Amino acid sequence: MHDKSLARWAVPAHELPDHLYFVSHAQSQSFLWCETDPATVGARHEHPCPVCNRPLPSSDKHSIQAAQYPFGPHRPQNVGELYAKMAQHLDWNNRIPTIFVSAFGDYQNAVDWAKQRDGPVGIIKVNTNNLPAGEFVFRPVDYNPEWPGDEYLFFGRIPQGYLEKHWGVKRGGELKD
């Protein structure tokens, strides 16, 4: 899907944790995409998916997409542009759509973050084993030690076929399947 030149800045596949955790919440710019109906920007934080009526996530039908298409003028051409786009994404005061989807490397950190969010909140477990060639994941702390050490940024999307489990988070922070 993506230009291989980004590979030199991404986390090597063997260094990724086996699983990452995406927190879906009402303020997130990333969204769940149902491949059943590509013309529909599908199931945003709903369970089951209103498009295909499958439980979320149905690994073969759903992906998580970044708010901004990561190609053309938005595609970083060098490490300086990549850094600037990471800084934009990690700035929670910035509401300009970005080319990344955030995930946590530690489940408990994802739970703690989810408990702080408003509205419908969920955690999706992402299997990072055998991600397709051309799917890139960046670790912001590799570029700036002041950035979150447990955050990972998927370039453009978390592809279908890698979403394993969804937990809803009730008010007060308890998890539900």
Provide the residue-wise pLDDT of the chain in tens; the chain has 177 residues.
Answer: 445 578 889 999 999 999 999 998 877 888 777 766 655 544 444 555 555 556 555 556 778 888 887 777 778 888 999 999 999 999 988 888 999 999 999 999 999 988 888 777 888 899 999 888 889 999 999 999 999 899 999 999 998 888 887 777 655 556 565
Beta-carbon count within 10 A of 122 CB = 22
Query: Taking the C-alpha atoms of 162, 98, 54 and 163 in order, what is their torsion angle to the nearest 10 degrees?
Result: 10
Whole-number pLDDT of residue 120: 76
Instruction: Tell me phi and psi for residue 125, to 5 degrees.
Output: -80, 130
Query: Could you give the CA distance from residue 92 to residue 145 in angstroms, rounded to a whole number?
Result: 18
Quick one: pLDDT at residue 42? 44
Helix boundaries (H) for the chain = 79-90, 107-115
pLDDT at 38: 54
Distance of CA 162 to the CA centre of its chain: 11
pLDDT at 45: 45
**DSSP letter string, 56-86:** SP-TTTEEEE-SS--SGGGS--SHHHHHHHH
- pLDDT at residue 103, as a whole number: 96
User: What is the torsional sign of CA 105, 111, 112, 117?
Assistant: positive
Sequence spans of domains, the chain:
4-171
